[in-house]
Structures are given as C-alpha cells and as structure tokens.
C-alpha cells in the first residue's frame, strides 16, 4: 500500500482520536458500546480561515497538540488505513497540557 500525502485546506484540522479505554473496573467494552473519544492529537493543520478583507487567521493549534474537540464534530476519514477525523478548527475547544 502506498503512503498518502494529505494537505489540509482552509480552517480544517486532521486529528488522530485517542483510543477508547476500559471501564474503571477493567471491563473492556465492545467498540459498538463505547462512546467516541473526545480527545485526540493534531496530525495536520490547514492554513487558516480567510476573512472578508483577504487576511488569513491561522488556527490556534499545531501538529502534535493534544486537544479536546466537539463530540459530533468533523468527518471520519481513512488515511493509509488509519481512521482519523477531519474537523473545522472552531470545533476544537481546548488544548490539553501536561
């Protein structure tokens, strides 16, 4: 399989969602019963949103940022066999810092 080169456009962000985890008691739930994770890692960022006057406002995130995003935001895409999420930058609510 060949590697795919992705160039994210506009004010979009490509995320790798964090994996769903087991319950506190250690029970692993089937994938269909798990809620979608709402945190992920930024893989790629578009140039930003173009305003009416032509200026471009870059997103507040960069590659490798760990973020919290809207539960139902974005579109699931497959890149080189890996499930990712393509989302509008304004659906990212916060950066997670250690």
Q: What is the pLDDT of residues 36-93, one digit of tens each?
A: 558 999 999 999 999 999 999 999 999 999 999 988 878 999 888 889 999 999 999 9
42, 65 contact by CB (below 8 A): yes
Domains annotated for the chain, with CATH where assigned, are 12-20+28-96 (2.30.33.40)
Per-residue confidence (pLDDT) for residue 13, from 0 to 100:
95
Q: Is the pLDDT of residue 22 over 50?
A: no
- pTM (2 d.p.): 0.77
Residue 16 makes CB contacts below 8 A (sequence gap 6+) with 40, 41, 43, 82, 84, 85
């Amino acid at each position: 399989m060949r590697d795919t080169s992705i160039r994210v456009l506009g004010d979009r962000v490509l995320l790798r969602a964090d994996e769903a985890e087991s319950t506190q008691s250690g029970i692993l739930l089937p994938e269909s019963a798990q809620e979608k994770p709402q945190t992920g890692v930024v893989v790629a960022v578009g140039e930003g949103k173009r305003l009416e006057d032509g200026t471009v406002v870059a997103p507040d995130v960069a590659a490798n940022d760990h973020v919290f995003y809207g539960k139902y935001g974005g579109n699931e895409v497959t890149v080189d066999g890996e499930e990712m999420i393509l989302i509008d930058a304004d659906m990212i609510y916060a950066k997670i810092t250690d």
